[in-house]
């Protein structure tokens, strides 16, 4: 009788299976077994849009740069939420899954990939759902330049992933790295063009905000989404080069700290 031998799987197949299992585990942890849990991924950005829209209405502003205020706010709030959630989620990805590293199949990069995929999937579904709701409500909710819109959002994802990777490794050496990142994220909401565009700010003060890559990306997002707005402030090159640098640095640091992730 021919002896059956177990099928040998490649490292990529093992990683794919581990990421798939972690993906399901993370979804259950985040949203729970109740279907209502998935409602909350829409509730947070929708509530923010409603609250700030009400504030602008009280100030007598229903339109900004030729765009209805709710849609204007949505295109700034969602990239900000994706950026900050990617940083927070990836920073703690390894720390939160250390118990699983006793299994040889689970490597430190697996929870990083899993959380990145979850944040991107939740963001994409949320964005599409809210745009469809706005279109149903009568807003012009289709981007003027769909390809540019996709590219800008990919840059937001890449930039958030780069910062998250760097902070994930930094946290292994310095436990307060995550707290420092949380402190920095708080004023970022007001400094990243979520509630305004740079054309509303005198040009002599632009240099004070040139360092902020998320502000550039929000300006670019509105430039490609709305025909009525064209940013004179934003640069494509700066966030792109910064994202490439941070991802390369993050992967190198991740490789250097790989043994420490497993051992600690």
Torsion angle (degrees, nearest 10) of CA 210, 154, 85, 66: 60
Q: What is the pLDDT of residue 75?
A: 93
Q: 219 with 231: CB under 8 angstroms?
A: yes
The CA distance from 69 to 137, in Å, is: 14
Q: What is the pLDDT of residue 237?
A: 95
For the chain, state the CA radius of gyration. Answer: 21
Q: What is the pLDDT of residue 100?
A: 80
Residue-wise pLDDT for 73-101, tens only, equals 999 999 999 999 999 899 888 888 887 87
CA 11 to chain centre: 28
Q: Which of 24, 81, 36 is nearest to 221 (CA)?
A: 81
Q: What is the pLDDT of residue 1?
A: 46
Q: What is the pLDDT of residue 261?
A: 72
Please give the average per-residue pLDDT across 147-158, as a whole number: 95
Instruction: pLDDT band for 24, please (50, 70, 90 cuts).
Output: confident
Structure tokens belonging to residue 153 = 């959002």
CB neighbourhood size of 155 (10 A): 22
Residue-wise pLDDT for 121-148, tens only, equals 999 999 999 999 999 988 888 899 999 9
The SS3 assignment for 230 reads: coil
Residue-wise pLDDT for 178-235, tens only, equals 777 777 788 888 899 999 999 889 999 999 999 999 999 999 999 999 998 888 899 9
Q: What is the pTM of this model?
A: 0.89
Q: Which residues of 178-193 are buried (b: 16+ CB within 10 A; e: fewer)?
A: beebeeeeeebbeebb
Query: Domain extents for the chain?
Result: 12-263
Residue for token digits 């279907």? Answer: 35
Residue-wise pLDDT for 191-207, tens only, equals 999 999 998 899 999 99
Structure tokens belonging to residue 94 = 């390894």
Angle in degrees, 0-180, between the axes of helices 69-91 and 109-136, rounded to the nearest 10: 170
Q: What is the pLDDT of residue 217?
A: 95
Q: What is the pLDDT of residue 169?
A: 85
Cα angle for residues 94, 97, 98 (degrees, 5° grid):
80
Q: Which of 186, 213, 193 is nearest to 88 (CA)?
A: 186
Q: What is the pLDDT of residue 95?
A: 84
Q: What is the pLDDT of residue 114?
A: 93
Residue for token digits 């689970």? Answer: 106
């Amino acid at each position: 009788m021919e002896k059956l031998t177990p099928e040998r799987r490649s490292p990529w197949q093992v990683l794919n299976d581990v990421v798939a299992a972690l993906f399901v585990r993370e979804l259950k942890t985040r949203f729970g077994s109740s279907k209502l849990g998935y409602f909350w991924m829409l509730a947070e950005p929708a509530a923010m849009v409603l609250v700030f829209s009400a504030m602008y209405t009280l100030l007598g502003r229903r339109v900004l740069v030729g765009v209805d205020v709710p849609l204007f706010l949505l295109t700034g709030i969602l990239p900000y939420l994706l950026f900050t959630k990617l940083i927070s989620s990836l920073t703690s990805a390894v720390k939160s899954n250390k118990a699983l590293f006793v299994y040889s199949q689970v490597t430190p990069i697996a929870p990083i990939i899993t959380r990145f995929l979850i944040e991107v999937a939740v963001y994409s579904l949320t964005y599409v759902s809210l745009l469809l709701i706005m279109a149903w409500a009568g807003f012009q909710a289709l981007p003027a330049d769909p390809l540019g819109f996709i590219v800008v959002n990919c840059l937001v994802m890449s930039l958030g992933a780069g910062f998250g990777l760097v902070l994930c490794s930094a946290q292994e050496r310095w436990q307060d790295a995550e707290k420092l990142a949380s402190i920095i994220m708080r004023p970022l909401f007001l400094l990243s063009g979520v509630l305004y565009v740079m054309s509303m700010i005198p040009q002599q003060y632009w240099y004070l905000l040139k360092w902020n890559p998320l502000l550039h990306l929000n300006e670019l997002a509105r430039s490609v989404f709305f025909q009525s707005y064209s940013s004179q402030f934003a640069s494509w090159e700066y966030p792109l080069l910064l994202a490439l640098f941070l991802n390369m640095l993050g992967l190198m640091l991740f490789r250097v700290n790989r043994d420490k992730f497993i051992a600690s």
